[in-house]
C-alpha cells in the first residue's frame, strides 16, 4: 500500500472537519465532531508520514476530475521520504490540537470560522508536503499562508491581533514572491513543472541560474522558517493567535519553511561548491544565537516561545547547511548523517514546541495572564500541566535523556567532523558554527530554567495566579505530545532507522548499518569518534534519579516532623513580589549582550529632590531597541512609501490622462512588435 | 607581599593554643571586680551601688548581691571604694544557668 | 537541649539536681556537637563591639576553626545561635524566625552585658535581655567578652570544658578562695 493512499483519508477528514466546523462549530456537538474528524485526519497523516519514511518516494499521481478544475492546473501529488517526517509531525500536531481544542475554545460563530480555517490550513500544509508539481506546491503554499493569516486573526477587532496577523501576511507574501521566482527559474530552465523531472534535469541548468534559484529559495522560505533577519513576524504573530493556533504555527508552519529549503537544497537544486552550505549554516547559526538572546528578554510566555522557535529553526538550518557542505566535499556518509540529525530535530521540535505553546494557553486560561512576572506557584495549582510542561522544557533545553538532547547531540557530533573536509577555512567555519550552537545551547538552558521556573515554581506573584485552577483545562493534547517526546528519546534507534531509510531516498547513501550497529547503540557520524545509546541513557538516568528517592524513603525520620516557614532572612512580612522576577533572572545575559539589545532605560521619579523614592513611586522602564525593525524593515518600508508617493501623480483621476496612457502603451506595443 | 611573608616567618606562629594551654593575654583586659568582705560597709556598698551604671550591684541587708553577667567591667565601683574592690582577672565566665552568675558577698566591714 | 529555666538575676539556686542536670546536658551536647559546630551570629541591637570580638575569632590569633567551630550565615545550616544585644523589640520577630529556622538540636548562647540584662532595662523599645524572647542555654558575660572568653564559652557550650564561674566567689581576703 502506498503512503499516498493514506493521505487521501487524511485530506478528506480535514476537509470534512473544515466543513463541519464552519457549519456546526458554533455549538458544542459540532465543535466536538469537527475536532474528532481533525484528529482522525491527523492520525492518518501521522501513519502516512511514518510509512513513507520506510517506503521511499512514491510516483507522482495526478488525480484528475474535480481537483483539477479547482486548482486551474494539474494537481500532482507525490509522497516523498523527505516530506514524510514533516507529514508525521503534521499528523501528531493535528491530533494534539484536536484533542486540545474542545476544552480550550468556547463554541461560537468566531470559533466556527476559526475551526474551519484551521482545518483548511492543515489540509493546505498536507498539500504542500505532498505536492508533486510546482503549481500544486505554490497554490497550496499560498492557501496555507492565507489560512494561517485568518487563524492568527481570531479576534479581528483587536488592533494588536490585526497588527500581528498583518506582519505574518506581509512577510509571507514577500517570501512567496521569492519562492515563485525560484520555482519559475528552475521550471523554465528544465522545461518541466513536476518536481521529479526538475530534480532529474537540474544539473543541466547553468551554475549561475542554479545559484540564483537557491538564494531566492533560501530567502523566500527563510521568511517562513524564521531565519534572522526575516523572522520579525514570529514574535508579533504568536502572542496574538490562540494557543493552538500558535502551536500550529510553530509546530508545523515554520517547519514548512525548513522543508522548502530542504527541498531545494537536497532534491531540486544541487548547487556546486561549498558556499550554499556555508551560507545556510552561517544563517542558521546566527539565527540560533540571536533567537535565544532575544528570548531571554521576553516576559510574555508566547513571545518567549516564539523566539525559541527561531532558535531551533536556526539549529535545523545549521544541520542542513553542514549537510550541504559535506555533500560538496563528497563526504556522503556525513551528508546523510547531518540530514538525518536535522530531520530528527524537526520531529523533536514539532513535539515539544507544540506542547509548550498548548501549555502556555492553559496557563493563560487558568491564570488570566501570559506575563511571567504575574505568575508563580503554578506547580501547586496546575500539577498535571506542570509535569507535562516540565517534560517539554527538558526536551527543548536539550537535557538528557529526552529527545532534544539526542538530536542536538547528533548535530554536534556531525559538526565536529568538520575537519574531515580537508579545507582549513571550511573546517574553521564549521567549528565556529558548532561553537555558536554551543553558546545557544547554554543560553537555552538558562532561558528555559527561567521560562519554567518563574511561572511554575515559587509563590504566586498576583492574586490571579493564586486563583488558577486545573478543572476544565485541556490536558490530553499536551500529554500526548509529552509521551511522544519520551518515545522519540527512548525509541531513538527506531527513529534513526526510519530516518536513515528516508535519507537513503534523498542522498542515495544507506547509513543504517553504520549508524546502528545493534544493541540499541548509536554511532554518530564516524565509527572511531563516539558512540552512545539514548535508550540505555534514559533507563540509566531514570534509575540514577530514583536512588536518592529510595534513600529518602528508606531513611527518612519516622517521628513527627515539624513544618516551619521558608527562611526569608527574618523579614517581618515576606511578599511574593520579593521573589526573583523574570527580568532580574535574565539580567546577567542582558548586561553581557548589551551591544545587541541596546536597551533604552528611562527612570522617572515624582520629585528629583529625593532620589530615595520617598516622595512617590519610581518608574523604571527598559526597552530593547528592535534592531531589525528599525534598521532593516523601517528603511525598506519608507523607501516603498517614498516610491509610492513618487508614482502617485500618475493616478490623477483624470479619465483623459488614462486614455492617453492606454494609447501610449498600445503604440509602444505596436512599435515593439513591429521591430 | 614578600615583606609581609618575611615578617611572618620571623614572627612565627601567633595562634594561641587556648584552651589547650593557658593564655594570659586576657588578664590585662577589664574584668569583673573581686570584693574584700571585711572592708565592705553598708555605706561603701551603697556608694558603689550608686556609682554602678547598671544593675550589677544590689544590697539586701548585709549581703551584696553581685550579678557577674550584668557587669561591664567599667571599674567605677573600684574608684569609689579603692582597696575593697580589685579586678578579679577572671575572664572564663561562661555559665549554663543565669543564676550561677549571681554571687552573694557578705558585708563584714560594719562594726557589730 | 533547648531552653532551660530562664531565671532572672534575682533568683539563685545551686541544688544538687541542677548540677546533675547540667552535667548530663553537657554530655549530651558533647556527643552531638563535640567535633564540629556551625555558629550563626545574631545582633539584636548591640553597639557592634561584641561583633568585633566575634569577628576576631576568625583571625589567625584566635582561629576558631582549629577547634572545629565555623561561622555560617544560613540558620538552616547552624547548630548554635550566638546572640548579642539587648533584644530591641523591633527585632523580636526576626530573632524568633531565626531561632525557628535553625533545625534542632540547637544551642542558644547569649553574650555581652547587653544580652544578659546589664545595660538596658525593659522599656517600650527594648526587652533588655535576650532571655525574654529566646531560650538561652549558655551565658557569656563581658563588655565586650574577649575572644578568649568567647572561645571558653563556646567550648563550655559544646561540653568540652567544664563551667568555671559556678565555683568562683569573687571574694578576696584572708579566708576567701577564688578570685
Q: Where are the domains of chain B?
A: 22-106
pLDDT at A648 over 50: yes
Q: Tell me what the pLDDT averaged over chain A comes to.
A: 89
- Cell triple for A56: 521511499
Subunits with 3+ C-beta pairs closer than 8 A to A: C
Q: How many CB pairs under 8 A join A and C?
A: 20
pLDDT (mean) for A417-434: 91
Place of cell 498600445: A666
What's the confidence (pLDDT) of residue A507? Answer: 82
pLDDT at C178: 46
- Give the β-pairing of A600-605 and A618-623: antiparallel
Q: Where are the alpha helices (DSSP H) in A263-377?
A: 275-295, 301-328, 332-367
How far is CA A563 from each of CA A308, C75, C100, C103, rounded to the nearest angstrom?
Answer: 39, 15, 10, 11
Question: Which C residues, 77 through 106, put their C-beta within 8 Å of a C-beta on chain B?
Answer: none
Contact A571 C76 (CB under 8 A): no
Tell me which residue has cell 537540474: A202
How close does chain A come to C112, measured CA to CA in Å? 22
Peptide bond preceding A401: is omega within 30 degrees of 0, i.e. cis? yes
Least confident of A56-70, A458-472, A477-491, B64-78: A56-70
Interface test with B, best of C27, C116, C145, C153 (most B CBs within 10 A): C116
Which runs of E-coded beta strand occur in A27-78? none
Does a structural domain hold residue C118?
A: yes
Listed residue (C161, C178, C157) closest to C106, CA to CA? C157
Is the pLDDT reported for residue A351 higher than 60?
A: yes
Q: Is the pLDDT of residue A62 over 90?
A: no
Nearest CA in chain C to B87: C179
Please give the residue that has the higher pLDDT: either A96 or A525.
A96
How near does any CA of chain A get to the CA of C178, in Å? 43
Distance, CA of A597 to CA of A579 (rounded, Å): 25
What are all long-range contacts of A567-570, with beta carbons under 8 Å and residues at least 24 apart?
A: A567/C74, A567/C75, A567/C76, A567/C97, A567/C101, A568/C97, A570/C93, A570/C94, A570/C95, A570/C97, A570/C98, A570/C101
Q: What contacts B14, CB < 8 A, 6 or more positions away?
A: C60, C61
Residues in B touching C8 (Cβ below 8 Å): 98
> Is residue C2 in some structural domain?
no
Q: Are C126 and C45 in contact (CB under 8 A)?
A: yes
C43: in domain: yes
**How far is the alpha carbon of A563 from chain C, nearest alpha carbon, in Å?**
10
The B residues from 2 to 61 touching C (CB cutoff 8 Å) are 14-16, 18-19, 23, 25-26, 29-30, 32-38, 54-56
Question: Mind listing the pLDDT tens digit for each residue in C156-169?
Answer: 998 888 889 988 98
Which of C142, C162, C164 is the best substitution to test chain B (most B C-beta atoms within 10 A)? C142
pLDDT at C15: 66
Residue A651: how many CB atoms within 10 A of its CB? 9
Query: In this prediction, does ipTM exceed 0.85?
Result: yes
Contact A565 C97 (CB under 8 A): yes
Minimum-distance CB partner of B93 among C121, C155, C165:
C165
Nearest to C94 among A564, A565, A570 (CB): A570
CB atoms near residue C22 (< 10 Å): 18
Q: Residue C4: what pLDDT?
A: 38
Q: Compute the nearest-CA separation of C88 from chain B (Å).
A: 17
CA-CA distance, A341 to A495, in Å (whole number)?
11
Minimum Cα–Cα distance from C99: chain A residue: A570
pLDDT for the residue numbered A510: 80
Angle at the Cα of C149 from the Cα atoms of B90 and C20, rounded to 5 degrees = 80
Look at chain C and count its residues.
179
What angle is formed at CA A566 by the lines to CA A562 and CA A568, rounded to 5 degrees?
A: 140
pLDDT band of residue A73 (cuts 50, 70, 90) is low
Picking from A500, A502, A537, A497, the residue whose alpha carbon sits closest to that of residue A518 is A497
Q: How many domains does chain C have?
A: 1
Q: How confident is the model at residue A269 (pLDDT cuts 50, 70, 90)?
A: confident
pLDDT of residue A527: 64
**Which residue has better confidence, A438 or A194?**
A438
User: Which residue shows C-alpha cell 518563574?
Assistant: A454
Section A287-305 average pLDDT? 94
Q: Which of A294-303, A612-621, A664-673 comes out lowest in average pLDDT?
A: A612-621
Inspect the interface and report whether the beta carbons of A564 and C101 lie closer than 8 Å.
Answer: yes
DSSP track, B42-103 = HHHHHHHHHH-SSSSEEEETTEEEEEGGG-----HHHHHSBTTEEE-------BSSGGGGEE
CATH, residue C88:
3.40.50.12280
Using CB atoms and an 8 Å cut-off, which of residues 67-106 of chain B contact chain C?
67-74, 86, 88-105
Inter-chain contact C14–B100, Cβ cutoff 8 Å? yes
Cα separation, A539 vs A558, whole angstroms:
31
Beta carbons of C44 and C85 less than 8 angstroms apart: yes
Q: Has residue A608 got a pLDDT over 80?
A: no
- Choose the closest CB to C100 out of A564, A571, A572: A564
| CA nearest to C40, candidates C109, C115, C113 | C109
Residues of C with CB below 8 A from A571's CB?
Answer: 94, 97
Q: With contact defined as beta carbons under 8 Å apart, do B64 and B35 qualify?
A: yes
Of A567, A571, A572, the CB nearest to C76: A567
**Average of per-residue pLDDT across B81-100:** 91
Which residue numbers of C have CB closer than 8 Å to A's CBs? 74-76, 93-95, 97-98, 100-101
Distance from CA of C97 to the nearest CA of B (A): 24
pLDDT value at residue A69: 45
Q: How far apart are CA A349 and CA C5, in angstroms?
A: 66
Going by C-alpha positions, the residue among A139, A423, A93 that lies closest to residue A273 is A423
Examine the pLDDT at A247 and tell me if it is beyond 60: yes
**pLDDT at res. A372:** 93
A418: DSSP letter: G
Q: Residue B16 and residue C153: Cβ atoms within 8 Å?
A: no
**What is the least distance, in Å, from the CA of A555 to any CA of chain C?**
18
- Give the separation between CA A341 and CA A526, rounded to whole angstroms: 14
| Yes or no, beta carbons of A572 and C101 under 8 Å apart | no
Of the residues A564, A565, A567, A570, the best mutation for testing chain C's interface (the one with the most C CB atoms within 10 Å of its CB) is A570
The CB density around residue B24, as the number of other CB atoms within 10 Å, is 9
Closest by Cα among A620, A622, A621 to A591: A622
pLDDT of A77 over the 50 cut: yes
Question: Does A67 score more than 60 pLDDT?
Answer: no
pLDDT tier, B35 (very low <50, low <70, confident <90, very high otherwise): very high
Task: Kindly provide the b/e burial profile for residues A340-359, where b requires at least 16 CB atoms within 10 angstroms of the residue's own CB.
Answer: bbbbbbbbbbbbbbbbbbbb
Here the cell at position A628 is 531589525
What percentage of chain A has pLDDT greater than the value 90?
A: 55
Question: Does C16 map to a domain?
Answer: no
Confidence of residue C136 (pLDDT cuts 50, 70, 90): very high
Q: Would you call B14 exposed, middle or buried from its count of C-beta atoms within 10 A (0-12, 13-18, 19+)?
A: exposed
pLDDT for A211 equals: 92
State what percent of residues in chain B have pLDDT above 90.
53
State how far the Cα of A55 lies from the Cα of A49, in Å rounded to an integer: 10
The residue segments making up the domain with residue C148 are 37-167
Q: Is the pLDDT assigned to residue C2 strictly greater than 50?
A: no
| Helix axis angle, A332-367 to A301-328, nearest 10° | 170
DSSP classification of residue A133: B
pLDDT tens digits, one per residue of C58-102: 999 999 999 999 999 999 999 999 999 999 999 999 999 999 999
Q: How far is C104 from chain B (nearest CA, A)?
A: 19
Sheet of C69-71: strand order equals C69-71, C37-43, C80-84, C107-111, C138-140
Closest CB to C60 among B15, B37, B96: B15
Res. C12: pLDDT tops 50: no
pLDDT classification of A525: cutoffs 50, 70, 90: low
Which of helix, strand or coil describes residue A368? Answer: coil
With beta carbons under 8 A apart, name residues in chain A contacting C101.
Answer: 564, 567, 570
User: What residues contact A610, with CB distance under 8 A and at least 6 apart?
Assistant: none
Minimal Cα–Cα distance from A457 to chain C, Å? 21
Q: Is pLDDT at C8 greater than 50 in this prediction?
A: no
Q: Which of A567, A571, A573 is the best mutation test for C, with the most CBs of C within 10 A?
A: A567
* Cell numbers standing for residue A413: 557530533
Domain contains C142: yes
In the predicted structure, residue C13 carries a pLDDT above the cut 50: no
Whole-angstrom Cα distance, residue A54 to residue A50?
A: 7
Q: Which residues in chain C are contacts of A557 at CB distance < 8 A?
A: none
Helix (H), strand (E) at residue A658: helix A655-674
Minimal Cα–Cα distance from C116 to chain B, Å?
Answer: 6
CATH topology of domain B22-106: Alpha-Beta Plaits (3.30.70)
Q: Quick one: what percent of chain C has pLDDT higher than 70?
A: 85
Contact between A567 and C97 using a beta-carbon 8 Å cutoff: yes
Residues A215, A221, A223, A227, CA torsion sign: negative
Compute the distance between CA of residue C111 and CA of residue C96 in angstroms, rounded to an integer.
Answer: 17
According to DSSP, residue B106 is labeled E
Residues in chain A: 675
End-to-end CA distance of chain A: 58
Query: Chains with ≥3 Cβ pairs under 8 A against B?
Result: C
Contacts 24+ apart (CB under 8 A), A426-434: A426/A274, A426/A278, A426/A325, A426/A329, A429/A278, A429/A281, A429/A282, A430/A281, A430/A322, A430/A325, A432/A285, A433/A281, A433/A282, A433/A284, A433/A285, A433/A318, A433/A321, A433/A322
Peptide bond into A63 cis (omega under 30): no
Q: What is the pLDDT of residue A346?
A: 96
Q: Do C152 and B92 touch (CB under 8 A)?
A: yes
Residue A215 pLDDT level (bands cut at 50, 70, 90): very high
User: Do A542 and A489 form a contact (C-beta atoms < 8 A)?
Assistant: no
Place A534 in a pLDDT band, splitting at 50, 70 and 90.
Answer: confident
- C95: nearest CA in chain A? A570
Q: Any contact of A with B, at least 3 CB pairs below 8 A?
A: no
The reply to whether residue B99 touches residue C14, judged by beta carbons under 8 angstroms, is yes
Residue A113, CA atoms < 13 Å, CB-side half-sphere: 12
Contacts (Cβ under 8 Å, ≥6 apart) of A363: A301, A370, A375, A378, A382, A385, A455, A468
Amino acid at each position: 500500500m502506498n503512503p499516498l493512499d493514506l493521505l487521501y483519508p487524511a485530506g478528506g477528514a480535514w476537509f470534512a472537519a473544515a466543513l463541519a466546523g464552519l457549519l456546526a462549530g458554533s455549538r458544542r456537538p459540532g465543535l466536538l465532531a469537527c475536532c474528532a474528524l481533525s484528529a482522525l485526519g491527523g492520525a492518518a497523516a501521522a501513519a502516512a508520514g511514518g510509512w513513507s519514511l520506510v517506503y521511499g518516494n512514491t510516483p507522482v499521481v495526478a488525480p484528475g476530475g474535480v481537483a483539477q478544475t479547482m486548482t486551474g492546473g494539474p494537481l500532482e501529488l507525490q509522497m516523498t521520504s523527505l516530506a514524510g517526517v514533516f507529514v508525521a509531525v503534521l499528523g501528531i500536531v493535528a491530533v494534539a490540537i484536536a484533542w486540545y481544542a474542545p476544552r480550550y475554545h468556547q463554541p461560537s460563530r468566531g470559533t466556527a470560522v476559526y475551526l474551519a480555517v484551521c482545518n483548511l490550513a492543515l489540509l493546505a500544509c498536507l498539500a504542500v508536503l505532498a505536492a508533486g508539481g510546482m503549481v500544486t506546491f505554490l497554490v497550496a503554499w499560498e492557501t496555507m499562508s492565507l489560512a494561517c493569516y485568518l487563524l492568527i486573526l481570531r479576534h479581528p477587532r483587536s488592533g494588536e491581533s490585526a497588527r500581528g496577523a498583518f506582519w505574518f501576511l506581509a512577510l509571507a507574501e514577500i517570501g512567496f514572491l521569492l519562492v515563485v521566482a525560484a520555482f519559475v527559474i528552475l521550471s523554465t530552465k528544465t522545461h518541466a513543472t513536476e518536481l521529479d523531472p526538475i530534480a532529474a534535469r537540474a544539473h543541466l541548468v547553468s551554475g549561475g541560474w542554479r545559484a540564483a534559484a537557491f538564494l531566492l529559495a533560501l530567502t523566500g522560505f527563510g521568511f517562513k522558517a524564521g531565519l534572522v533577519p526575516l523572522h520579525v513576524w514570529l514574535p508579533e504573530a504568536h502572542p496574538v493567535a490562540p494557543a493552538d493556533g500558535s502551536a500550529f504555527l510553530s509546530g508545523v508552519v515554520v517547519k514548512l519553511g525548513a522543508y522548502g529549503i530542504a527541498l531545494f537544497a537536497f532534491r531540486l537544486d544541487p548547487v556546486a561548491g561549498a558556499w550554499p552550505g556555508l551560507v545556510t549554516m552561517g544563517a542558521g547559526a546566527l539565527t540560533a544565537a540571536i533567537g535565544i538572546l532575544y528570548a531571554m528578554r521576553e516576559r510574555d510566555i508566547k513571545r518567549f516561545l516564539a523566539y525559541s522557535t527561531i532558535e531551533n529553526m536556526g539549529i535545523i538550518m545549521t544541520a542542513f547547511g553542514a549537510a550541504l557542505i559535506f555533500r560538496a566535499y563528497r563526504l556522503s556518509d556525513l551528508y546523510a548523517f547531518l540530514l538525518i540529525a536535522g530531520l530528527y530535530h524537526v520531529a523533536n521540535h514539532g513535539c515539544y514546541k507544540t506542547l509548550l505553546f498548548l501549555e502556555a494557553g492553559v496557563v493563560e486560561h487558568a491564570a488570566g495572564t501570559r506575563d511571567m512576572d504575574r505568575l508563580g506557584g503554578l506547580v501547586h495549582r496546575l500539577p498535571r500541566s506542570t509535569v507535562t510542561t516540565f517534560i517539554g522544557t527538558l526536551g527543548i533545553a536539550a537535557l538528557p535523556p529526552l529527545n532534544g538532547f539526542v538530536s542536538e547531540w547528533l548535530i554536534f557530533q556531525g559538526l565536529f567532523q568538520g575537519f574531515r573536509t580537508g579545507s582549513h577555512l571550511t573546517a574553521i567555519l564549521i567549528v565556529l558554527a558548532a561553537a555558536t550552537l554551543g553558546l545557544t545551547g547554554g543560553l537555552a538552558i538558562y532561558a528555559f530554567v527561567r521560562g519554567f521556573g518563574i511561572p511554575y515554581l515559587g509563590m504566586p506573584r498576583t492574586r490571579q495566579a493564586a486563583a488558577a485552577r486545573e478543572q476544565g483545562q485541556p490536558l490530553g493534547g499536551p500529554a500526548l505530545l509529552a509521551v511522544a517526546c519520551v518515545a522519540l528519546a527512548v525509541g531513538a534507534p527506531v527513529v534513526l532507522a526510519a530516518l536513515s531509510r528516508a535519507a537513503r531516498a534523498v542522498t542515495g547513501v544507506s547509513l543504517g548499518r553504520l549508524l546502528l550497529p545493534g544493541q540499541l547503540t548509536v554511532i554518530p557520524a564516524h565509527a572511531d569518534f563516539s558512540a552512545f545509546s539514548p535508550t540505555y541513557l534514559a533507563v540509566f538516568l531514570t534509575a540514577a534519579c530514583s536512588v536518592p528517592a529510595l534513600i529518602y524513603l528508606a531513611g527518612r525520620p519516622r517521628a513527627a516532623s515539624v513544618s516551619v516557614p521558608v527562611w526569608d532572612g527574618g523579614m517581618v512580612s515576606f511578599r511574593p513580589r520579593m521573589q526573583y522576577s523574570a527580568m532580574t533572572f535574565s539580567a546577567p545575559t542582558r548586561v553581557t549582550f548589551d551591544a545587541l539589545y541596546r536597551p533604552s532605560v528611562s527612570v522617572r521619579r515624582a520629585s528629583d529632590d529625593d532620589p530615595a523614592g520617598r516622595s512617590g513611586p519610581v518608574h523604571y522602564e527598559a526597552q530593547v531597541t528592535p534592531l531589525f525593525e528599525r534598521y532593516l524593515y523601517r528603511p525598506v518600508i519608507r523607501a516603498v512609501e517614498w516610491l509610492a508617493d513618487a508614482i502617485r501623480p500618475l493616478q490623477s483621476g483624470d479619465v483623459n490622462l488614462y486614455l492617453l496612457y492606454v494609447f501610449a502603451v498600445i503604440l509602444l506595443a505596436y512599435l515593439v512588435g513591429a521591430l | 607581599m614578600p615583606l609581609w611573608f618575611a615578617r611572618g616567618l620571623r614572627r612565627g606562629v601567633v595562634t594561641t593554643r587556648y584552651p589547650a594551654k593557658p593564655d594570659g593575654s586576657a588578664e590585662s583586659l577589664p574584668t569583673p571586680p573581686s570584693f574584700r568582705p571585711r572592708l565592705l560597709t553598708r555605706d561603701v556598698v551603697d556608694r558603689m551601688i550608686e556609682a554602678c551604671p547598671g544593675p550589677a550591684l544590689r544590697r539586701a541587708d548585709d549581703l551584696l548581691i553581685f550579678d557577674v553577667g550584668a557587669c561591664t567591667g567599667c571599674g567605677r565601683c573600684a574608684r569609689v571604694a579603692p582597696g575593697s574592690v580589685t579586678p578579679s582577672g577572671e575572664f572564663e565566665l561562661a555559665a549554663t544557668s543565669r543564676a550561677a552568675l549571681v554571687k552573694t558577698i557578705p558585708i563584714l566591714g560594719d562594726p557589730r | 537541649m533547648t531552653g532551660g529555666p530562664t531565671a532572672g538575676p534575682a533568683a539563685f539556686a545551686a541544688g544538687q539536681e541542677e548540677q546533675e542536670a547540667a552535667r548530663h546536658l553537657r554530655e549530651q551536647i558533647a556527643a552531638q556537637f563535640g567535633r564540629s559546630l556551625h555558629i550563626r551570629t545574631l545582633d539584636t541591637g548591640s553597639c557592634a563591639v561584641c561583633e568585633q570580638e566575634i569577628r576576631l575569632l576568625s583571625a589567625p590569633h584566635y582561629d576558631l576553626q582549629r577547634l572545629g567551630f565555623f561561622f555560617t550565615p544560613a540558620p538552616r545550616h547552624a547548630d548554635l545561635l550566638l546572640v548579642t544585644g539587648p533584644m530591641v523589640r523591633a527585632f523580636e520577630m526576626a530573632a524568633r524566625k531565626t531561632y525557628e529556622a535553625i533545625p534542632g538540636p540547637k544551642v542558644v548562647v547569649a553574650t555581652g552585658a547587653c544580652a544578659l540584662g546589664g545595660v538596658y532595662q525593659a522599656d517600650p523599645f527594648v526587652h533588655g535581655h535576650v532571655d525574654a524572647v529566646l531560650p538561652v542555654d549558655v551565658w557569656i558575660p563581658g563588655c565586650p567578652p574577649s575572644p578568649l572568653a568567647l572561645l571558653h564559652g563556646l567550648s563550655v557550650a559544646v561540653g568540652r570544658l567544664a563551667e568555671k564561674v559556678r565555683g568562683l566567689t569573687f571574694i578576696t581576703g584572708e579566708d576567701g578562695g577564688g578570685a
